[in-house]
Structure 1
Amino acid sequence: MKRILTDHISHSGMMYASDFKQWYTYLKRRLDNEWTTEELSFLLGKPSYYYTDFEKMYKVPNFLQKKAHF
């Protein structure tokens, strides 16, 4: 029997310009104020996992490694 690995996480979705602006604003404020994702979720009035899931979906570490030109 072949073993299937199920411990990887994969997210996909479409981000509109307004979503990107909102996401970038939250990310910048979170980093500037040294908030955790759970703290930001609390400040947004959302469950503790809300912003963590949001960052996972948009692959923040990959985004931060590339230079963005706006």
Structure 2
Amino acid sequence: MAEISLEERKIKELALKAQLGRNSLDYQRSRRRKHPALTFEQHLEIAQGIKREINNLIHNGRVESDFVI
């Protein structure tokens, strides 16, 4: 199999995206409707959940660490 350079691959990917209309405003609007952006509160809730899980792992001795987040 012939090896394709990174530059050639990027060009082909861009051409395919353009062909599929992924750069069109209609595509972007439909994408936002299906997958709306997270709000600040949702990001904060996710971050706090991750922090809790890490602290629980450290507290339960499953992860060794010199610090607690």
Normalization by structure 2: what TM-score?
A: 0.30
Which is richer in helix? 2
Normalization by structure 1: what TM-score?
A: 0.29
Greater RCO, 1 or 2 (C-alpha within 8 Å, sep 6+): 1
Structure showing greater radius of gyration is: 2
